[in-house]
Amino acid sequence: MILTMDIGNASVVVCCAENGRRLCRFQLASDKTRTTDEYAAYMTLLAKSGGMELSRAAGAIIASVVPQLTAVLAPAVQRCTGHAPLIVGPGVRTGLNIRMDDPTELGGDLAAAAVAAAERYPLPCILVDMGTATAVGVIDEKGSYIGGLICPGVGLSQSSLARSASQLPDVSLEKPKRVIGKNTRDSMQSGLIHGAAAMLDGVLERVETELGMPAASVVVTGESAGVIVPNCRRGGISIDEDLVMYGLWRIWRRNRGAD
């Protein structure tokens, strides 16, 4: 068993994985005011509630887009598992051929998702990570990561509307009964949900046009996937909440000489 950790701007997703299979999963808030001690205590308690003892882990790996939190969470992981975590970044072998101007710009979370998608889904593959930002990555028919695009995430759009428009309320991400809202709350929910779904439909179409061929698979992960993807008009989109976890498990094995 190893511990995988995906540190994002809004939340930290922690999984215990064995042979590429998730044993337990829990989330922590991405709170920069918390200490290493606090995070270690939370992780230990939440893992125990899932029937896991983190001290039994054979290793740990972290993908992070928040360096400040990495500095706090990496020692917390070491305290819980007894192992210094492998942190995805320059010098770490992913096995992924990254065809970008600067391969080091690819975030560890998206790199892990791409490693998993290239192994688990038909190629070419478009992968989408719907977190604070909606990050779209493209893997060509040879398994190379050739680039992508980054859009504001639905949660970011939600909070920005409530914060920047004084007369608009803060609404939950729930699908309203109709596209044409009859009140402010329903109108905002419709705009957030259907707007994000329409954006995803349009982006997928434009990516395929530039590729010159249809994607053999489209896989979406991230906290907003479950509420947005069912409202897309395009069919055949897979939701895989364990995509990053599996990719991190695979990268850990590759760097330990197991693959």
Domains of the chain: 2-87 (3.30.420.40), 103-243 (3.30.420.40)
Cite the active site residues: 109
Mean pLDDT computed over every residue of the chain: 92
Q: What is the pLDDT of residue 166?
A: 60
The answer on pLDDT for 81 being more than 70 is yes
Judge contact between 2 and 74, C-beta under 8 A: no
Query: How many residues does this entry show for the chain?
Result: 259
* pLDDT over 90 at 175, yes or no: no
Provide the pLDDT confidence category of residue 138 given band limits of 50, 70 and 90.
very high
Dist CA 228 CA 146 (whole Å): 25
pLDDT interval class at 169 (50, 70, 90) = low
Per-residue pLDDT tens over the stretch 217-255: 999 999 889 999 999 999 999 999 999 999 999 999 999
Q: How confident is the model at residue 165 (pLDDT cuts 50, 70, 90)?
A: low
Q: How many CB atoms lie within 10 A of CB 195?
A: 14
Beta bridge partners of 239: 220
Q: Is the pLDDT of residue 116 over 90?
A: yes
Range from 41-50, 114-123, 167-176, 238-247 carrying the lowest mean pLDDT? 167-176
The single-letter DSSP state of residue 250 is: H
What is the C-alpha separation between 60 and 80, in angstroms, rounded?
10
Q: Distance (Å, rounded) from C-alpha 46 to C-alpha 48?
A: 5
Could you read off the pLDDT of 21-50 as tens digits, one per residue?
A: 999 999 999 999 999 999 999 999 999 999
CA 87 to chain centre: 16
Mean pLDDT of the region 202-212: 97
Half-sphere exposure of 66 (CA within 13 A, CB side): 19
Candidate from 35-44, 176-185, 209-218 with smallest mean pLDDT: 176-185
Which bin fits 184, alpha (ψ -120 to 50), beta or left (φ > 0)? alpha
Task: Please give the pLDDT value at position 210.
Answer: 96
CB count, 10 Å around CB of 231? 17
As a whole number of angstroms, the distance between CA 46 and CA 58 comes to: 18
Match 């200490």 to its residue by tokens.
35
